[in-house]
């Protein structure tokens, strides 16, 4: 039981856009933000073409078109304002997977008659037109726009099946054009693009992420697993005691795949801090990644061999920060430390990272979130972002029409250590 649909966004024909790509990016940003907050697990969504999203709900046999009217209102307000002249229309097509994906790339001119209410039999599935003011079934004409099961039934299912508190963000290696693994994150923090938390909240989230990773490891035969740990926690012996019962459960045979992602790191850690953290974590983690927010991090003061990588979590002046951080590539290479950028939000940031050869990337513009460790798989850089919209709690993507299968037995290494 899985309902799959393609959602096409149409912007009024009477407005001529000087930059269609910018308009497509704006529609993707507004729509993606809305769906990220409302179309939540176990439902899936993904941008598959400009102005086109694929939606999936494993709990339903038919999607509720009325539920998407709020998105039409949001787009209308964001693009045209309260009294704007433009008109937003959404077209939702439901059918089997092949027809849905074909519909996502159907030229707009071929859909105009249907959008105007004239069904020429071009499509065999269910089609609904959604505007800020109305919702109607175009095919079959006058058909139901409700979902099955109903929203009330969905609410009962959601109450029985609580959303997990953690999620996974895939990490992409640009040189090899492969996803190499992922970092487990506190779900609400990931949605809000939250960079740093401290104190008791940090401890609660870190321990939840450790517990989730331990449970998921048996289902993840490949790929690196990055576990977030607060700098202020692991540097203090008294707080470490709270972490040890969880860390000691990490299987030693998997040490070569485990990475500690230390966040909340100051621009210039005090003398010996990183060496003490390395000494504490070394029995369980082969890789140490520092997650920083200041692009001017003092890499020159870091002892050789103590850390593996430094990842910039972009906060403000985003393009400038990325450029500043990656301009120090020579200093990082001298220290045998890899650079990464996380929290990449849009194509402008992604393109800049490509131009400056950032080795490791993650964020909404790179991939959607996963429910289990992503593992390793090949994915061409020009096709980013990767969107996992399929139903169910599968540990990573399954090959589909736009997803090439990874080579059998392929292994990805993350230098400078042979993992």
For the stretch 272-281, pLDDT in tens is 899 999 999 9
Range list for CATH 3.20.20.450 in the chain: 164-383
Does 223 have pLDDT greater than 70? yes
Distance (Å, rounded) from C-alpha 114 to C-alpha 89? 12
pLDDT digits (tens, 9 = 90+) for 364-399: 899 988 888 999 999 999 988 887 644 333 333 333
pLDDT digits (tens, 9 = 90+) for 177-194: 999 999 999 877 655 455
Return the C-alpha torsion angle 256, 262, 266, 270, nearest 10. -60
Query: Rounded mean pLDDT of 98-123?
Result: 77
Of 241, 279, 245, 242, the C-alpha closest to 260 is 279
Tokens of 226: 């990055």
Considering the four listed CATH numbers 3.30.1490.20, 3.20.20.450, 2.30.30.60, 3.40.50.620, the one that applies to the domain covering 164-383 is 3.20.20.450
Question: What confidence score (pLDDT) does residue 117 get?
Answer: 66
Tokens of 261: 């992602």
Distance (Å, rounded) from C-alpha 98 to C-alpha 317? 42
- Work out the percent of the chain whose per-residue pLDDT is above 70: 82
Does 119 have pLDDT greater than 70? no
Planar angle of CA 101, 368, 150, nearest 5 degrees: 65
Question: What confidence score (pLDDT) does residue 371 get?
Answer: 85
Counting beta carbons within 10 angstroms of the beta carbon of residue 43, is it exposed (0 to 12), middle (13 to 18) or buried (19 or more)? Answer: buried
Which CATH architecture best describes the domain 3-159? 2-Layer Sandwich (3.30)
Range list for CATH 3.30.70 in the chain: 3-159
DSSP assignments along 292-336, one per residue: ES-TT--GGGSPTTS-SEEEEE--SSHHHHHHHHHTTHHHHHHTT
Q: What is the pTM of this model?
A: 0.62
Average confidence score pLDDT of the chain: 82
The DSSP call for residue 381 is G
Question: What confidence score (pLDDT) does residue 96 get?
Answer: 84
pLDDT digits (tens, 9 = 90+) for 330-354: 999 999 999 999 999 888 999 999 9
Looking at the DSSP bridge assignments, the partners of residue 311 are 291, 340
Of 79, 91, 85, the C-alpha closest to 26 is 79
pLDDT digits (tens, 9 = 90+) for 142-180: 888 888 876 555 545 444 444 568 889 999 999 999 999
Antiparallel, parallel or unpaired: β 44-49 and 52-57: antiparallel
Counting beta carbons within 10 angstroms of the beta carbon of residue 35, is it exposed (0 to 12), middle (13 to 18) or buried (19 or more)? Answer: buried
């Amino acid at each position: 039981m899985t309902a799959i649909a393609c959602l096409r966004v149409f912007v009024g024909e009477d407005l001529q856009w000087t930059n269609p790509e910018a308009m497509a990016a704006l529609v993707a940003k507004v729509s993606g933000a809305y769906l990220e907050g409302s179309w939540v697990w176990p439902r899936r969504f993904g941008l598959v073409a400009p102005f086109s999203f694929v939606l999936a709900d494993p709990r339903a046999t038919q999607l509720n078109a009325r539920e998407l009217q709020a998105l039409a209102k949001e787009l209308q307000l964001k693009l045209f304002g309260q009294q704007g002249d433009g008109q937003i229309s959404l077209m939702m097509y439901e059918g089997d997977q092949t027809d849905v994906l074909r519909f996502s790339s159907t030229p707009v001119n071929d859909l105009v008659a249907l959008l105007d209410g004239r069904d020429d039999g071009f499509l065999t599935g269910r089609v609904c037109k959604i505007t800020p003011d109305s919702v109607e079934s175009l095919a079959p004409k006058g058909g139901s726009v409700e979902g099955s099961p109903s929203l009330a039934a969905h609410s009962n299912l959601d109450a029985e099946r609580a959303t997990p508190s953690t999620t996974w963000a895939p990490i992409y290696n640009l040189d090899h054009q492969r996803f190499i693994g992922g970092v487990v994150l506190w779900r609400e923090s990931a949605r809000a693009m939250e960079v740093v938390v401290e104190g008791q909240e940090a401890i609660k989230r870190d321990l939840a992420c450790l517990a989730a990773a331990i449970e998921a490891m048996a289902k993840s035969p490949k790929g690196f697993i990055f576990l977030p740990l607060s700098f202020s926690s692991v540097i203090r012996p008294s707080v470490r005691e709270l972490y040890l019962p969880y860390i000691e459960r990490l299987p030693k045979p998997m040490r070569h795949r485990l990475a500690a992602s230390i966040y909340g790191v100051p621009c210039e850690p005090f003398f010996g801090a990183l060496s003490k953290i390395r000494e504490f974590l070394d029995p369980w983690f082969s890789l140490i990644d520092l997650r920083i927010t200041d692009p001017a991090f003092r890499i020159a003061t870091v002892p050789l061999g103590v850390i593996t990588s430094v990842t910039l979590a972009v906060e403000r002046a985003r393009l400038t920060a990325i450029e500043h951080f990656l301009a120090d590539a020579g200093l990082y290479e001298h220290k045998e430390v890899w650079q990464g950028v996380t929290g990449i939000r849009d194509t402008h940031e992604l393109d800049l990272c490509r131009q400056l050869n950032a080795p490791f990337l993650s964020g909404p513009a790179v991939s959607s979130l996963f429910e289990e460790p992503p593992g390793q798989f090949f994915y061409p850089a020009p096709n980013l972002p990767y969107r996992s919209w399929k139903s169910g709690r599968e540990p990573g993507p399954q090959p589909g029409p736009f997803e090439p299968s990874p080579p059998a037995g392929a292994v990805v290494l993350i230098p400078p250590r042979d993992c």
